Amino acid sequence: MKTIPCNPKASDEVRSVLNYFSKIEGKGIITGQHTQTMAQEELDYIHQVTGKWPALCGFELLGYSPNINYEDSGEECLLEVAENQDTLQKAWEWTQKSKGLLTFTWHWFSPLNGRDKSFYTEHTDFNVSKAIIEGTKEYKALLSDMDHMAEILREFCDKRIPILWRPFHEADGTWFWWGSQGPKIAKQLYRIMYQRYTNYHNLTNLIWVWNSPLVQGYVGDDVVDIISRDMYPPAHQHTDLSKEYEELVAITRTSKLAAIGEIGPIPCVESLSTSRIPWLWFMTWSQDFGKTEKFTTKEELQRAYHCDYAITLDKLPKLY
């Protein structure tokens, strides 16, 4: 069964990816890894341990936020931003050389009144409830940042590269400014971006991924292609996450593809091959989650990537 994109103007490449996802649902899980530096040590670690590469690679856009307050930021923040610089080059290499699947995470530095890591609520005085009201300075700042990022995404659109776009991630929590005043406002922010990117900027290469398991926080089927959630189980706990899957798909009565947007210890791929819980992909988070044994042992990683149920880069067909 084909999956129809929520954007009627979606590119052929988006449709190709979604059709592929529909075919593999419950028949395999796409391996994924987040990165946020030029070094991409997480990918090298996976390849060193397993001899394989993930089929889906995540890249971080925090350093491309237009309103980073360099004067009022600590050393940790400045280092994180510096290490993230120029990582779009790696995203281009991934798509041009590897032809792998691509996703972006945007830890969006506050459009106004931010300091230090201002994607965190505690580091900004940005009034997000005013940002959804047309004509306010907050709304204008919100759109200005969106437009800035749209130009970065446009380059991928022009090259017809599909992107799994997961904006306002973890909107069920209050730790990021976009979720700081509850799911109702977070939903409106997402809809503002969807309309802006779909109708104004005509970004036809985006596959829209919602990232929250809250029923009352769901933004709506009309602007979502894939539902997802982030999970951080205890270190070395590997299951098929069946309970978490049932909680996620309960947010809508429509049959939606479902994915793991972020995870600490990887799911048990062997268990998934038996239970067939139809997680579409898993994305291990970066840094120690993806390049050490603190959360997943080398043996577990090896078993996962060599399981017949795992879809690694070498098993991925040409989709764009």
> Domain extents for the chain?
12-315
- 41 noted as active-site residue: no
Query: Which of these, 259, 179, 175, 260, lies nearest to 219 by C-alpha position?
Result: 179
Percent of the chain scoring above 70 in pLDDT? 100
Q: pLDDT by residue (tens digit) across 91-132?
A: 999 999 999 999 999 999 999 999 999 999 999 999 999 999
Q: pLDDT band for position 1 (50/70/90)? A: low
Please give the pLDDT value at position 158: 98
Work out the average pLDDT over 37-62. Answer: 98
Q: Say what angle helices 298-306 and 41-50 make with each other, to 10 degrees.
A: 80
Q: Tell me if 67 sits within 8 A of 145, measured CB to CB.
A: yes
Active-site choice (138, 244, 262, 300): 262
Which structure tokens are listed for 10?
A: 């979606």
Asked whether residue 180 carries a pLDDT value surpassing 90, the answer given is: yes
3-state SS record for 211-224: ECCCCCCCCCHHHC
The matching CATH number, chosen from 3.20.20.80, 3.65.10.10, 1.10.10.1200, 3.40.920.10, for 12-315 is 3.20.20.80
Q: Tell me if 274 sits within 8 A of 239, measured CB to CB.
A: no
Percent of the chain scoring above 90 in pLDDT? 99
- Alpha helices by DSSP H, listed for 30-136, are 41-50, 75-84, 88-93, 128-131
Active-site choice (42, 138, 170, 300): 170
Please give the pLDDT value at position 282: 98
Q: pLDDT by residue (tens digit) across 259-307?
A: 999 999 999 999 999 999 999 999 999 999 999 999 999 999 999 999 9
Q: pLDDT by residue (tens digit) across 7-34?
A: 999 999 999 999 999 999 999 999 999 9
Asked whether residue 175 carries a pLDDT value surpassing 70, the answer given is: yes
- pTM given for the model: 0.97
Query: Which of these, 177, 164, 168, lies nearest to 259 by C-alpha position?
Result: 164
* Neighbour-count burial for 30-61, b at 16+ CB within 10 Å, e otherwise: bbbbbbbbeebbbbebbeebbebbbbbbbbbb
Asked whether residue 2 carries a pLDDT value surpassing 80, the answer given is: no
- 170 noted as active-site residue: yes
CA pair distance 242, 74, nearest whole angstrom: 40
Query: Which H helix or E strand runs over 228?
Result: strand 226-231
The average confidence (pLDDT) of the chain is 97
Least confident span in 2-6, 82-86, 257-261, 287-291: 2-6
Query: Which H helix or E strand runs over 14?
Result: helix 12-24
Q: Tell me if 118 sits within 8 A of 110, measured CB to CB.
A: yes
Q: Tell me if 257 sits within 8 A of 3, measured CB to CB.
A: yes
3-state SS record for 153-208: HHHHHHCCCCEEECCCCCCCCCCEHHHCCCHHHHHHHHHHHHHHHHHHCCCCCEEE
CA pair distance 119, 112, nearest whole angstrom: 11
Asked whether residue 3 carries a pLDDT value surpassing 90, the answer given is: no
CA pair distance 91, 89, nearest whole angstrom: 5
CA pair distance 68, 62, nearest whole angstrom: 9
Sort residue 314 into left (φ over 0), alpha (ψ -120 to 50) or beta.
alpha
What is the separation of C-alpha 60 from the centre of its chain, rounded to a whole number of angstroms?
9
Side-chain-facing half-sphere of 261: CA atoms under 13 Å? 24
Query: Which H helix or E strand runs over 257?
Result: strand 257-263
Work out the average pLDDT over 227-231. Answer: 98
CA pair distance 282, 307, nearest whole angstrom: 14
Asked whether residue 183 carries a pLDDT value surpassing 80, the answer given is: yes
